[in-house]
Amino acid sequence: MESTIVNDIDIFQRYQQIRKQTEVICEPLNPEDYVVQPVEQVSPPKWHLAHTTWFFETFLLNNYKPGYQVFHADYNYLFNSYYESIGKRALRTDRGNITRPGVEEVKEYRRYVDEHLLNFLSESSLSAECYKVLEIGIHHEQQHQELLVTDIKYILGHNPVFPAYFDKQPELSGNPLPLEFLEVPEGIYRVGHQGTGFCFDNELSCHQIYLDAFRVMNRLITNSEFQEFISAGGYQKFQYWLMEGWEWVKSNDIKAPLYWHYINDDWHAYNLRGLESLDPNAPVTHISFYEADAFARWKGLRLPTEFEWEVACKMHQPEASTAAGFLEDGNFNPGASRNGNLQFLGDAWEWTGSPYRPYPGFDQTEGALGEYNGKFMINQMVLRGGSCATARNHIRHTYRNFFHPHLRWQFTGIRLAAPTE
């Protein structure tokens, strides 16, 4: 890689803002909340605070700042997530057993690395290589901000006393847009990231695909629409389900989306304000791919592929709506589609019908950062569009999120598609 010198004042500010944002998310927590890992995929908030810091320390300071002393020799072992290249690491399932370092020590770790990093940035011009790692580190931390929100929700929302994270008043969620189809004509389209802006390696290379004409809904499926599926016996009829989905339903006794509770003849849902009556107009979230797929089959429709989604989004909602919910809005809960917001970006991640696989020209980065995306490209499904826990400047039309089809602790929702008649 050429080592052009980069002068980007903005990135210093962004670094500081993002680091600050992470800590703001954690402010309402008690020390006890920072520690636990109730299921494998939910990491302790303390771990997120430390791991994002370890990322900058390991990939930037260790590699590029001569004479840098790590904050603590054991942290590489404790806070490496999955980078085999970087050496041994604690078992993922042990994250919730590690009480020391405590929250205060982890915050000190954050200050230490921030100070050294800002010194490093101010002392020298930034090589293109460093700039790229710094940029990845910032986006990496934004990804963990989203995980922080959903992991905190899981930790508090699975506590039998349903504690509130904050006492924010709910926004009134008005009537959603009437359901309609948006049309996309047959054609050859370019998909994947173009241009010079930041993207992850899994969005490359930009390439052509052919699409038949299709239609896609103008907003996300709402809670009340999903209730109809439940009322129609959707969780009891194998016809709607993939075989592995049906086994998942039966062996986990699934009867509703995660966080839904049927109390006194009415559906309630936990959100970060506590346990509340279900908002009928908000998009359904916290569903697995299996549920999204079964819902679509029940409707006689299907999920869009990731490319159909990308093309439709670029065509119909090239800019994120100001009515959409993002991390910065601080609701951590999606709202109804208001003011013509088509909800492609923000509110809820949309399950697509596409498995997560490399693009034709995918070229895995050399070294440890090559482990960032490529090695997960099996048995997972692509989600598009970001959610109410995604930073507004983190999301793109070409952004590919991915989860195993049974997982539902993220803000995951449904948009339906169909061939053009």
* Cis amide bond preceding 45, omega within 30: no
**Sole binder of a copy of itself in the list 10, 67, 100, 167 (CB under 8 A):** 100
- What angle in degrees, to the nearest 10, is found between the helix axes of 9-26 and 128-157? 10
Which residue, among 405, 123, 418, 174, has the nearest Cα to 296 in the 3D structure? Answer: 418
- Residue 6 CB coordination number (10 Å): 16
Nearest approach, Cβ of 26 to a copy of itself (angstroms)? 13
Q: Which of residues 379-418 bind a copy of itself (CB under 8 A)?
A: 379, 405
Residue matched to tokens 């890992």: 37
By CB under 8 A, tell whether 74 contacts a copy of itself. Answer: yes
Q: Which stretch binds a copy of itself (CB under 8 A): 30-38, 50-58, 63-71, 135-143?
A: 30-38
How far is residue 12's CA from residue 315's CA, in Å, rounded to a whole number?
Answer: 34
Q: Which stretch binds a copy of itself (CB under 8 A): 25-33, 56-64, 274-282, 337-345?
A: 25-33
Cβ-contact 349, 387 below 8 angstroms: yes
Q: Cα-Cα-Cα-Cα dihedral of 128, 133, 134, 140, to 10°?
A: 150
Query: Which residues lie across from 116 on neighbouring strands?
Result: none
Nearest approach, Cβ of 328 to a copy of itself (angstroms)? 26
By CB under 8 A, tell whether 90 contacts a copy of itself. Answer: yes
320 phi, psi to nearest 5 deg: -65, 135
Cβ-contact 204, 194 below 8 angstroms: no
Identity of the residue, 123 or 421, whose beta carbon is nearer to a copy of itself in the bound complex: 421
Residue matched to tokens 């370019």: 190
Nearest approach, Cβ of 39 to a copy of itself (angstroms)? 8
Identity of the residue, 64 or 162, whose beta carbon is nearer to a copy of itself in the bound complex: 162
Identity of the residue, 281 or 305, whose beta carbon is nearer to a copy of itself in the bound complex: 305
Identity of the residue, 9 or 161, whose beta carbon is nearer to a copy of itself in the bound complex: 161
Nearest approach, Cβ of 341 to a copy of itself (angstroms)? 28
Q: Which of residues 267-326 bind a copy of itself (CB under 8 A)?
A: 289, 302
Cβ-contact 268, 276 below 8 angstroms: yes
- Identify the three-state secondary structure at position 319: coil
Q: Which stretch binds a copy of itself (CB under 8 A): 117-125, 174-182, 203-211, 394-402?
A: 203-211
Q: Which stretch binds a copy of itself (CB under 8 A): 6-14, 126-134, 206-214, 277-285?
A: 206-214
By CB under 8 A, tell whether 167 contacts a copy of itself. Answer: no
Cβ-contact 338, 279 below 8 angstroms: no
Kindly state the tokens that stand for 346. Answer: 């923000």
Binding interface with a copy of itself (CB under 8 A): 30-36, 38, 46, 72, 74, 77-78, 82, 84-85, 90, 94, 96-103, 155-156, 158-161, 163, 188, 207-210, 212, 214, 238-239, 241-246, 289, 302, 353-355, 357-358, 360-361, 375-379, 405, 419
